[in-house]
Amino acid sequence: DAKTTQPTSMDCAEGRAANLPCNHSTISGNEYVYWYRQIHSQGPQYIIHGLKNNETNEMASLIITEDRKSSTLILPHATLRDTAVYYCIVSLSMDSNYQLIWGAGTKLIIKP
């Protein structure tokens, strides 16, 4: 079973920040939080990952709570092309077999 819980779907207005929550209450100390997204008819695309500290890159920001039991992915200025299923996954980055356990994700719809 997936070790994360995400809302099934969310809407966001174009140009606004999209905030996608994820609960991972059973996360262990050496597990990372990864975010991927899958645009319709394409393979998943890596977005960002983090361990304890907040992270930012050109695509998004990742905010992890101090107890690490939840996190939020922030797309600062959502565009229509950000419409996709967003997956929050916890995994041991040290695991060379990369046993990511994928859940159902959040279907994010960006509305004009």
CA distances in angstroms from 6 to 29, 51, 60, 94, 104, listed in the order given: 21, 18, 17, 24, 8
Measured from the CB atom, the residue of 53 and 99 that comes closer to other proteins is: 99
- CA dist 110 and 89 (Å) reads 22
Shortest approach of other proteins to residue 85 CB, angstroms? Answer: 10
Measured from the CB atom, the residue of 14 and 85 that comes closer to other proteins is: 85
Residue 30 binds to other proteins (criterion: CB under 8 A): no
Give the residues lining the site for other proteins (CB under 8 A).
2, 34, 36, 41-46, 49, 93-104
